Every structure is written in structure tokens, then in C-alpha cells.
Structure 1
Amino acid sequence: MNDLIAPTALWCATIIEAIGIGTITLFALYALFNAIIRMIRKEDSDSIFQELRQSLGRGILLGLEFLIASDIIYTVAVELTFETIGVLGIVVLIRTFLSLTLEVEMSGKWPWQNNQ
């Protein structure tokens, strides 16, 4: 049974990881393309910069969620050892910290604060 689960989980983790990388890449390219178009139109540079940062931040946040899911699948289903669980914990902690700081930077407040 494990001979079937591990390769399937590895395949799924690889696909989800590729989706995460693709998401970040596509959002970055879209945000950059949109900013260039707006610069050509001579729009306000401050609003262009803010929207570029917002779009890029959203893409990174979404991509990080996919990458975390991929790491969890790989660790739990393919290579379950105390060492890989420790590494997974550190990776998830770092990526969660990055997600939290990006969210704070984009919205200007902590996620648990009321929408005021």
C-alpha cells in the first residue's frame, strides 16, 4: 500500500509546488506589466507603486500557501522522519511569518484587528 501512496503523494506535492511557483511568477509578471502600462499612460507614480506592491504581495501570499501545502504533503506522505518534521516546522514557521508580515504591510494592520 505504501508503495502506491508515496509516489502519488510525491507527484501531488510536485504539482502543487509548481502551482505555487507559477502563481507567484504570473502575479509578478501581471503586476509588472500593469505598472508599465500605467507608466506609459503617465498615471500617478505613487498609485502605480502602491498597486504594484499590492498585486505582488497578493501573488506571493497565495503562492506561499501552495508551497506550504506541498511541503506538508511531501513530509507527511513521502519522507516522514523526525528530521523532516523538524525542517517542515521551521519552513512552515518562516513562511507563516512571511505571510503575516506581507499581510500587515499590504493592509496596514494585524489580521485580527477589526476593520475600522
Structure 2
Amino acid sequence: MVRLNIKKGWHVNANPASLRFLIPTTVKSEINHKAVRLDISYPPGRDSHVKLDGKSILVYDDNTILRADMPASTLAQLRSAGSLSLVVTVQSCSNKGICLPPAQLRSTIAAHF
């Protein structure tokens, strides 16, 4: 699972994003710099009460959890490699409507079998 730690007064776009031009929060995984499959469950976003083009923008706040299921093939690769890298793409916006450019947050998780 991936827990989003977001500073008070900020949020990130939900997945799917509410509008085509917004960047959704996504999780990708890699082993030895090669993409591997994780099945990510993105929760529904919360209504931010911000409206763009007449549509309410759905967002994730602090402590939102994104759940991942690991297929057997990915688990086998992880056992062999010993670690998995996660790349979480987010676009952070303040509750006052100021948005930062998209960012990729990387984390490596060591496997302990």
C-alpha cells in the first residue's frame, strides 16, 4: 500500500482526474529499471469544492491509501531482484487554488523473504 503524506492545506488530484488537463495521481512499479505490473486500487476522491469548467474537482488528502495487489509474476521477479521501486506521480495544489508542476516521487522497497 502507498500512503500519501500531504501537507495541511494541500491536496493532489484523484485518479481518474476530474478533467482531461489535470494530472491524476498514479503509481508505477519497476524492478531493475524495468516496468512490472502492480494492480493499483485508486480510492474515490473527495470533492474539493473547487469547480473548473462547471465540474467539481476530486482530490486526495493526507493519509489517503492507494492499495496494490502484486501478481505472482511480479512477486517472482521481486524475490529474485530483492527490491521494487515505486514511482508515484502527483500534481499538488493548495486549497487556495495554486498548483505546482507535476512531480514524480520515487521510493525503493527492499523485499524481506
Q: Give yes or no for TM over 0.5.
A: no
Report which of the two has the higher share of strand: 2
Query: So what's the TM-score if we normalise by structure 2?
Result: 0.26
Write 1 or 2 for the structure with the bigger share of helix.
1
